[in-house]
Amino acid sequence: MISITSTALTHPGRVRKSNEDNMVVTERLAAVADGLGGHAAGEVASKIAVDRLRELGEIADLHPDHIIDAIADTNRLILAAVREHPDNAGMGTTITGVAAVSLDGVEHAAVFNVGDSRTYRLVEGDFAQVSVDHSEVQELQDSGQITAEAAVNYPRRNIITRCLGTDPAPQPDIWVFVPSELERFVLCSDGLSGEVTDDAIAATAREHADAETAAESLLQQALDGGGRDNVTVIVVDLTNDDPVLVDEHGVDEHGVDEHGVDEQGLAGPGVAEQGVAGASSPPSS
């Protein structure tokens, strides 16, 4: 059985007076939402997202389809809230997280994402970003128009190409993994990833065995780096005491391996290359 323990921290940062980030942690799921669209509106949108995902904690055998449906429902709820309160027009939110899911009674780990909040994974010493940023700067990198070094100072790096709160609804990315005996996930808003390098995040995740200490260190690094945005970080430690049977290639009966298979039938990054269903004017996070 998969067990999840986590530490979740959030801070408005050094510049902004309000915090538009929200987060949710249950025994089976953790997620970060970064609201956008202005002070009050962004906070409303991100809260709608985490409140809807919190309901998934009540499902005994959570399936990836439940997550996809909840994300779609969140999009509808945000649009309905705008219709009820037109002053909040343009509000939206990112969402990223990890959950313990069941495939035919066998537990797996699932990562999901819309927007540029991030989920990283540390397993057996290997650290990597699982989620793919839905952002203008990421698309330029993917197409080879700019380098990773140039992306750091790209002037429009805060422009995202998918978020919840758009019509038509955005396509979420979701990856499903064969769980290891012990692995760690780092979930964050761009208030962390925009101030702290991936190498520093990786080093911190490896250095601290305790999730609370790791989360506190990451938050402090973001603040020390300038804290120009709201900062939210969740460090999730996932343990599995019921190994999944795999073949000689490390693939289980569902075609899932330790590298993750997208639940839509594609490798995770492939979904991000299919184009964006979103607003005609890309929102900024």
Tokens for 12, please give them: 């408005």
Task: Give the Cα-Cα-Cα angle 217, 51, 5 (nearest 5 degrees).
Answer: 40
Which sequence spans correspond to the domains of the chain? Answer: 2-243
Spatial contact of 35 and 44, defined as CB atoms under 8 Å apart: yes
Closest CA to 282 of 37, 20, 33, 21: 37
The CATH classification number of 2-243 equals: 3.60.40.10
The number of beta carbons lying within 10 Å of the beta carbon of residue 164 is 32
Segment of 101-110, 250-259, 260-269 carrying the highest mean pLDDT = 101-110
Contacts of 204 (CB under 8 A, 6+ apart): 214, 217, 218, 221
Residue 272's pLDDT band (cuts 50, 70, 90): very low
Amino acid at 59: I
Tokens for 55, please give them: 């309901």
Residue 262 has pLDDT above 70, yes or no: no
Average pLDDT over the chain, rounded to an integer: 87
Dump pLDDT digits (tens) for 72-116. Answer: 999 999 999 999 999 999 999 999 999 999 998 899 999 999 999
Dump pLDDT digits (tens) for 52-63. Answer: 999 998 898 999
Question: Strands of 231-240's sheet, edge to edge?
Answer: 2-11, 231-240, 182-188, 118-123, 126-129
Dump pLDDT digits (tens) for 163-206. Answer: 999 999 999 999 999 989 999 999 999 999 999 999 999 999 99
